[in-house]
Amino acid sequence: PKEPAGSLSADSIKIKKEVANAFVKRKKRSSPYEWYFEYYKSPMEQMHERCENYPPCDYLSDQVGFALAYNRFFG
């Protein structure tokens, strides 16, 4: 089947891994502090994720705020 002019197929977008690595570089971490926070989440972030993964808490947090919603379901 013919594609409309200007549209791209998935095959035409692919590039080789070596070519991609030439201009997309992974950011290097400069300190152990940055390594630590990449692997370990803060307690507040863990609480947010717990609330986001529970639909009633997530919905209520949009209405009344995170703190009240979290305390209602988990506090």
Measured in whole angstroms, how far is the alpha carbon of residue 38 from the centre of its chain? 13
Q: Give me the pLDDT at residue 34, please.
A: 74
Tens-of-pLDDT digits for all 75 residues of the chain?
555 655 666 666 777 777 776 766 666 667 777 777 777 888 999 999 999 999 999 999 999 999 999 999 998
pTM for this entry: 0.51
Q: Is the dihedral of CA 54, 58, 59, 65 positive or negative?
A: positive
Cβ count near 70 (within 10 Å): 19
Q: Give me the pLDDT at residue 41, please.
A: 85
Locate 66 and state its tokens: 């995170």
Q: Give me the pLDDT at residue 26, please.
A: 67
Question: What is the distance between the alpha carbons of residues 67 and 32, in angstroms, rounded to a whole number?
Answer: 31
